[in-house]
Amino acid sequence: MKSRWFAAICGGFIVLVVLAAILAPFIAPYGETALAADPWEKWTLAHPLGTDNLGRDMLTRLLFGTRNTVLVAFGATLASFVVGVTLAFLAAVFSGWIDQLLSRGVDILMSIPTLIMALVVLSVMGTSIPVLICVMAALDSTRVFRLARALAVDVMALDFVETARLRGEGFWWFLRREILPNVMPSLLAEFGLRFSFAALFLSSLSFLGLGIRPPHADLGGMVKENAAAIGFGIAAPLLPALMIGLITVAVNALVDWQLRRSAQPVRRA
Amino acid sequence: MSAAGPLPRRSHRSHLGEGAPTCILDIRDLVVAAAGKSIVNHVSVRLAPGEVVGLIGESGAGKSTLGLAALGYLRPGCEHAGGTVELAGQDVLRLAPKALRLLRRTHIAYVAQSAAASFNPALRIADQVLEVPYLSGRTPAHDDALARDLFERLELPDPATFGRRYPHQVSGGQLQRAMVAMALASAPQVIVFDEPTTALDVTTQIEVLRVIRDAIRSRGLAALYISHDLAVVSQLADRIIVLRDGGLVEQGATADIVSAPQTVYARSLIGLRRETAVAGDAKAFSPVLEIAAVSAGYRRGLDVVRHVSLTLGAGRVLAVVGQSGSGKSTLARVVMGLLPARDGSVRFAGGVLPALEGRTRDQRRRLQLVQQSPDVALNPHQSVRETIGRPIQLFFGCDAAETERRVRALLAATELPEGLIDRMPESLSGGQKQRVCIARALAAEPDVLVCDEITSALDLLVEDAIIGLLKRLQTQRSLAIVFITHNLWLARRFAHDVAVMHDGAVVEHGLAGDVLVRPAHAYTRTLLAAVPTLEPGWLDRQTA
């Protein structure tokens, strides 16, 4: 009962975040990069959350930062799932050398530390948003592949899949009708988890200067830009950090709730 | 309240009869509810010291719930909704957890259906068997003498060292006996046996039944023996209680229940055990499926099926019988093409069948499989309509209207109500699911149906109905059926021809009327003799 209330609150928060991300250009009081006042001003009516290190309105930057971070993280997660799940199901359905090739390839990719890999690729290819999404998706899809393959192999061992095999069904039938519906709860839960990892990963990339490029706002970059303020007892760097934390906690709490719900035994009619 | 010491015994109600023996376990008017429905409904069971009471009924009858209630345990989600359970005079359903544990340690033990699932795979057998006497402070941690005595009594191999093995290192029958040893270790007064032989082969079952009988007799134990198999219960129990849907249907002395059941339900349960053979006729037939000297296996150099040759005639039923591990399911996988044969060939309708990938759509259509467990044979995310409709679309390319018409016709043919068409498998009963599986196989309009233990997951009466259905379908559509089963009763009732498999080879093959009535091979005789019957004293004769 208690966890349901908590999940509802977290769900509400995520809805707010999504709305803020979509509506940021319309509801933000100032422009994304507009210099509105002096740096690190106090919280006033004109600037409800103060200003940042260059004197831009903090509330505006937070709205845009959330928008950019959520957009890139969501895009990257979605792409990693499409790629990872499709390859994983290919491996599970055809097994044999296709499975070996894909699985060992993923092993090789996973043996390279993610952050270092991302830093190298991004410093060569530049950090436009499409490149950022592609690199993050490619790195994350290896983890998705691992999970989806394990789930699919379990399903492939069940009798109803054997029946479909005996009928001579094709790959798309297996993917769409036999496997996907039966692993959906686990994949959805993993999606939420991967999304929050992606948001954190993007924030660390931005913090290192290889994420979303200034002057565009993103949460990780904002922490870095305003880091010095912490020495003066100003809350500016804490706000984007808090936002990252809240999004992560909310998404994970929802995932947790979903997992627990789907783990409950199905009541027989 | 003192925890361990027995409380003064209350006097029993007078109408229970004068001179009624003092009773060790007294379940009175028990009601257990789950999700608002009562799953045990006003049932009373009294157990005198040294008495064995059999609880019989189908799944969902409330047998296990009742058996566990005797230990003062209710499964999660179950609620005590009335009545009392008194064990040695103490009301176990109202006892504090600690006092209850102490009472259980000295008074009652439980033998579960699946020893494999009940033993902790990471601990040695002796440590688990001796846990309760050690916890109650009666023995040291490693009481080798006690372990040896128990294992000797249960005729386990190498009693001195048996306990040092891990559960996966012994056979299923040995593990089941080790669980009986565990129950005896605490020297209880009552043991609840919950289907202790259901998961075992008939020849293994006999060994376990014998040690259970000897253990009960030699120690004068009282026991609740739960089973769905009336024949097994009738060999052990003094009294039998028939349960159905949580309610008590009939009770009486074993001989009375077996010879003169009063209720329709008890009569139908007993009738199932009395039905006799279809005479196998020797008329000539044209072969449709020929298995020629097939060998196959999973691991290199290890053949699970060895040089098996069998012929299935058009429109005939060939039963392949044998115990688990005899290779009969592997043979089915070879026939279906799921496992390539190492040696030999499978000929179907005149041509040699390749492995699955090489089979034409028509070959796939004409050979259909019905699997053992209906629970995993149906995709939980496809409705009955989609499940049965898919082979029709795939093999015959029918449009939606024609598919719908055929699905409804198949539902009618498998005696399923039409209203089920949009249901998901989750909301079907086990029997209904298996009917849907049969309908799905028939949708392809096959020549040969391979049925792999299709009733072993079902209750007796449901099994009877499914076999009846299959018999009717077989004659109507002149299907040829390979009927794989460990159950000789079914083979006798249903098959024209019988092949007996043992260790991967066919040891005997012929007309059902010959093989099952006048068995030529020693193994067939052993197998036939091991099938429990309702005759009083059968078990004693088998093990004399």
Instruction: Give DSSP secondary structure letters for B77-125.
Output: TEEEEEEEEEETTEEGGGS-HHHHHHHHHHHEEEE-S-HHHHS-TTS-H
Return the DSSP state at B7. Answer: P
Query: One-letter amino acid identity for A58?
Result: M
Whether residue A50 lies inside any domain: the answer is no
| Peptide bond before residue B261 is cis, with ω within 30 degrees of 0 | no
Question: Quick check: A146 pLDDT over 70?
Answer: yes
Confidence of residue A129 (pLDDT cuts 50, 70, 90): confident
Cα–Cα dist B127/B140, whole Å? 11
Question: Quick check: A265 pLDDT over 70?
Answer: no
pLDDT of residue B531: 83
pLDDT of residue B19: 43
Whether residue A82 lies inside any domain: the answer is yes
Helix, strand or coil, per DSSP, at residue B330: helix
pLDDT of residue A262: 67
For residue A169, which residues of chain B lie inside 8 Å, CB to CB? 394
B361, B372, B378 ranked by CB distance to A160: nearest: B378
Return the DSSP state at B71. Answer: T
Cβ within 8 Å of residue B11, ≥6 positions away: none
pLDDT of residue B9: 39
Q: Is B157 exposed, middle or buried (0-12, 13-18, 19+ CB in 10 A)?
A: exposed
What share of chain A has pLDDT > 90, as a percent? Answer: 37
User: Most confidently modeled of A244-248, B4-8, B281-285, B534-538?
Assistant: A244-248
Contact (Cβ atoms closer than 8 angstroms) between residue B372 and residue B452: yes
To the nearest whole number, what is the mean pLDDT of chain A? Answer: 87
Question: Quick check: B420 pLDDT over 70?
Answer: yes
For residue A266, which residues of chain B lie inside 8 Å, CB to CB? 426
Cα–Cα dist A205/A129, whole Å? 12
B372, B378, B391 ranked by CB distance to A167: nearest: B391
pLDDT of residue A264: 53
Q: How many domains does chain A have?
A: 1
For residue B440, which residues of chain A lie inside 8 Å, CB to CB? 163
Beta bridge partners of B448: B367, B480
For residue B35, which residues of chain A lie inside 8 Å, CB to CB? 267
pLDDT of residue B508: 92
Over residues A197-214, mean pLDDT: 84
Contact (Cβ atoms closer than 8 angstroms) between residue A257 and residue A185: no
Whether residue A187 lies inside any domain: the answer is yes
pLDDT of residue A267: 39
pLDDT of residue B8: 40
CATH number of the domain that residue A237 is part of: 1.10.3720.10
Write the pLDDT tens digit of every residue in A41-91: 788 888 888 888 888 888 999 999 999 999 999 999 999 999 999 999 999
Write the pLDDT tens digit of every residue in B75-121: 888 889 889 999 988 899 888 999 999 899 889 999 988 888 889 98
Whether residue A20 lies inside any domain: the answer is no
For residue A182, which residues of chain B lie inside 8 Å, CB to CB? 379-381
Of A149-153, B239-243, B265-269, the least confident: B265-269
Give kind and range of the element (H or E) at residue A85.
helix A58-94
B35, B364, B382 ranked by CB distance to A168: nearest: B364
pLDDT of residue B273: 60
Over residues B155-183, mean pLDDT: 87
Nearest C-alpha in B relative to A265: B77
pLDDT of residue B52: 92
B371, B377, B381 ranked by CB distance to A182: nearest: B381
Cβ within 8 Å of residue A114, ≥6 positions away: A139, A201
What tokens were used for B57?
């009924």
The pTM score is: 0.80
Give kind and range of the element (H or E) at residue A97.
helix A96-110
Q: What is the largest CA-CA distance in chain A?
A: 73
Write the pLDDT tens digit of every residue in B457-495: 888 888 888 999 999 999 998 899 999 998 888 888 888
Over residues B499-508, mean pLDDT: 92
Which residue range is the domain that position A209 belongs to?
Answer: 72-263
pLDDT of residue B278: 56
Q: Which of B379, B394, B428, B456 is the best mutation test for A, with the most CBs of A within 10 A?
A: B379
Confidence of residue B275 (pLDDT cuts 50, 70, 90): low
Tell me whether residues B394 and A169 touch, CB distance under 8 A. Answer: yes
Cα–Cα dist B241/B63, whole Å? 10
pLDDT of residue B228: 85
Q: Is B188 exposed, middle or buried (0-12, 13-18, 19+ CB in 10 A)?
A: buried
Cα–Cα dist B191/B49, whole Å? 11
Tell me whether residues B426 and A181 touch, CB distance under 8 A. Answer: no
State the nearest Cα–Cα gap between A141 and chain B, in angstroms. 26
User: Is the ipTM reported for this complex over the cut 0.90?
Assistant: no
pLDDT of residue B18: 40
pLDDT of residue A51: 84
Nearest C-alpha in B relative to A174: B379
Phi, psi of B24 (to 5 degrees): -85, -35
Over residues B22-49, mean pLDDT: 89
Whether residue A220 lies inside any domain: the answer is yes
Buried b (16+ CB within 10 A) or exposed e, A134-147: bbbbbbbbbbbbbb
Cα–Cα dist B232/B538, whole Å? 10
Of A28-32, A38-42, A90-94, A259-263, the least confident: A259-263
- What angle do the packed helices B430-442 and B384-396 form, to 10 degrees? 10
Question: Quick check: B414 pLDDT over 80?
Answer: yes
Candidates A102, A135, A90, A99; CA nearest to A117 is A135
Cα–Cα dist B172/B203, whole Å? 12
pLDDT of residue B276: 55
For residue A269, which residues of chain B lie inside 8 Å, CB to CB? 426-427
Query: One-letter amino acid identity for B186?
Result: S
Cα–Cα dist B427/B113, whole Å? 26
Nearest C-alpha in A relative to B358: A168
Helix, strand or coil, per DSSP, at residue A241: helix
Walk across the sheet containing B287-296 and list its strands: B305-313, B287-296, B343-348, B351-352
Question: Quick check: B11 pLDDT over 80?
Answer: no
Count how many pairs of residues, chain A against chain B, have C-beta atoms within 8 Å: 52
State the nearest Cα–Cα gap between A257 and chain B, in angstroms. 21
B364, B380, B390 ranked by CB distance to A182: nearest: B380
pLDDT of residue A199: 86
Candidates A166, A115, A182, A24; CA nearest to B443 is A166
Question: Quick check: B2 pLDDT over 60?
Answer: no
Higher pLDDT, B348 or A214: B348
Question: Quick check: B279 pLDDT over 70?
Answer: no
Cα–Cα dist B186/B167, whole Å? 20
Q: What is the dihedral of CA B32, B37, B43, B47, to 10 degrees?
A: -40
Question: Quick check: B540 pLDDT over 70?
Answer: yes
Nearest C-alpha in B relative to A169: B394
Whether residue A12 lies inside any domain: the answer is no
Whether residue A237 lies inside any domain: the answer is yes
Over residues B419-441, mean pLDDT: 91
State the nearest Cα–Cα gap between B324 and chain A, in angstroms. 19
Beta bridge partners of B243: B248
Could you tell me if residue B344 is left (phi over 0), alpha (psi between -120 and 50 degrees) or otherwise beta? Answer: left
Whether residue A14 lies inside any domain: the answer is no
pLDDT of residue A189: 83
Question: Quick check: A268 pLDDT over 50?
Answer: no
pLDDT of residue B14: 37
Of A193-197, B442-446, B449-453, the least confident: A193-197
Cα–Cα dist B229/B327, whole Å? 25
